[in-house]
Structure 1
Amino acid sequence: MELRRRALEALCLADPERKALQTLHMHSRQDFSIDPAAELAAPAGILLPGHPERPELRPHTEMARRSPATPLGRAVLIHAIAHIEFNAINLALDAIWRFPRMPEAFYRDWLQVAAEEAKHFQLLRAHLRSQGHDYGDFPAHQGQWTMCEKTQGDIVARMALVPRTMEARGLDATPQIQAKLRQVGTGDALAAVEILDVILREEVGHVAIGNHWYRWLCARDGLDPETHYAELTRRYAAPRMRPPFNTQARRAAGFSESELRWLEQS
């Protein structure tokens, strides 16, 4: 199989379980070829990414917040995170098929990310089911995919504003979510904390991959990565990063001290 074409096929799948399983299968086989020069196009009549009829997609401003102190509130919270992980599968698959003429390591890195995101989605969906719910039971928003669409013609912006901006927000938010769940202290809340431990550890690696390829592209194109990042956040109206920041995780993911200072100051 050719990896980039298979990634596009997986991206088109609407069924979330099939998408996760096909992504994990691609990663497990490791017997694929890679054609970096292929100019691919989405199949006619198919909107990307493929997604199921449920959950209902709403603007993020219309998303209701519920306290994790209640079982329903925790279900809504875990559902929101599951949707983020489902979108993250799509984001990684999109990077594989959309951008030609990159080193093979680029495509292998994003396949690894896609597989780990698929695993995260499966863990969260299984947890939801154990609590009498399922993915699709609550509304969700497409904030991550909106930035993916904005940057579809600019691989430098994609690396800057999806993994090291949108996904890096998860490094900051996850410890706060875990603290609230630990405070609740019920068995399901503590089980969710353990799942989030796995996700946080692996998301550090995903953001690190984004940082690596962003800097590689800046070096290739003669760009200063820090000043260009500030320009890209303005050009594409990236969401403002709000403290508190998980500086330990961000350092582990490859953010420089000057980048961390810029975040605090901006």
Structure 2
Amino acid sequence: MTSLSEAAISVLATNDATQKCRLTRALAADWHQGRITAIGDCPPPPRPARPARPALLPPREMPKRAYGGDKGRIGLLHALAHIELNAIDLAWDIVARFPNDAMPKAFYDDWVQVALDEAVHFEMLVDLLARLGAAYGDLPAHDGLWQAAEKTADDLAARLVVVPMTLEARGLDTTPATMAKLAANGDTLTPPALELIYRDEITHVAAGVRWFTHLAEARGQDAKALYQSLLTARFPGGLKSPFNHDARARAGFARDWYEPMATR
């Protein structure tokens, strides 16, 4: 690869999930170890390549998830694996999609690391599915995450608001309760995996906040006002409370930014 954007596109063009993870690991190493140095300017595809399975349904058509027992665990793990696979592509997409914003190298360092983290998460969840006799693709999944990417493909600031600062931040709010419920039901395997994802999500949200603030300042705009304006325009459903204020604070996400945006 001659540039990071070409590397990103090679991942986005890979439809096999296992190969997508392997390629992410190899290209992240190439970037971090200096074998790739140029950012490049190669526009990414509108959508990443996807495996034939799972079937992608509109969110409203998704079957109700089972709770309890192995069936419930499989449903949860499959949904999380689908999120992580999308997250790999979202991280590579942000690397290649916004060259006109002229972000510093540290921005690309962060998002290549996010892509690598998400690949590790996906592989870990697939391993847990296999222990239960299941595989990624066995259940349908929805396309909501990539729809959010499509709606923010025109503006890096909007992408940062919707993806890391809203969708990933929501994971900070909900994951501790999920871990506690699984542990109470005697699950000793899933909570440690969710704990790793949770810790990494804090760093991902922090990257979103950091680079959004950088971008707002570069544009000469008040960061909090811009965040609230973009959230209203690009995520009109608003935010769900309660919030995990402690985890959000660890990510540098100021309470007076997001709390007024709660709908309930």
d(CA) in 2 for partners of 1:263 and 1:75? 33
d(CA) in 1 for partners of 2:197 and 2:44? 30
1:251 pairs, out of 242, 249, 255, with: 249
1:32 aligned to 2:35?
yes
Partner of 2:149: 148
1:129-140 to structure 2, matched below 5 A, reads 129-140=130-141
Contact persistence 2:44–2:93 (CA under 8 A):
no
1:111 aligned to 2:125?
no
> How big is each residue's C-alpha offset from its partner over 1:22-42, in whole Å with a ceiling of 9 and x where there is no partner?
101112232333434x33134
Contact persistence 1:68–1:184 (CA under 8 A):
no
> How big is each residue's C-alpha offset from its partner over 1:3-38, in whole Å with a ceiling of 9 and x where there is no partner?
2211111111100000011101112232333434x3
d(CA) in 2 for partners of 1:78 and 1:218? 36
d(CA) in 2 for partners of 1:199 and 1:14? 23
d(CA) in 2 for partners of 1:239 and 1:77? 24
1:154-233 to structure 2, matched below 5 A, reads 154-185=155-186, 189-233=187-231
Shift of the 176–238 alpha-carbon distance from structure 1 to 2, 3 Å rule, reads farther
Partner of 1:236: 234
Partner of 2:97: 98
Shift of the 238–25 alpha-carbon distance from structure 1 to 2, 3 Å rule, reads farther
d(CA) in 1 for partners of 2:38 and 2:131? 42
Partner of 1:6: 7
Tell me the amino acid that sits aligned with residue 214 of structure 2.
W
Contact persistence 1:247–1:260 (CA under 8 A):
no
Aligned length: 259
Shift of 1:264: 4.8
d(CA) in 2 for partners of 1:182 and 1:239? 32
Contact persistence 2:58–2:142 (CA under 8 A):
yes
d(CA) in 2 for partners of 1:72 and 1:265? 32
Shift of the 264–235 alpha-carbon distance from structure 1 to 2, 3 Å rule, reads closer
State the identity as a percent.
Answer: 40
Shift of 1:73: 1.4
Tell me the amino acid that sits aligned with residue 221 of structure 2.
L
Contact persistence 1:3–1:32 (CA under 8 A):
no
Show structure 2 runs of 5+ residues with no match: none
Show structure 1 runs of 5+ residues with no match: none
Calculate the TM-score normalised by the size of structure 1.
0.92
Calculate the TM-score normalised by the size of structure 2.
0.93
Contact persistence 2:228–2:257 (CA under 8 A):
no
Shift of the 49–239 alpha-carbon distance from structure 1 to 2, 3 Å rule, reads farther
Partner of 1:79: 78
Contact persistence 2:94–2:111 (CA under 8 A):
yes
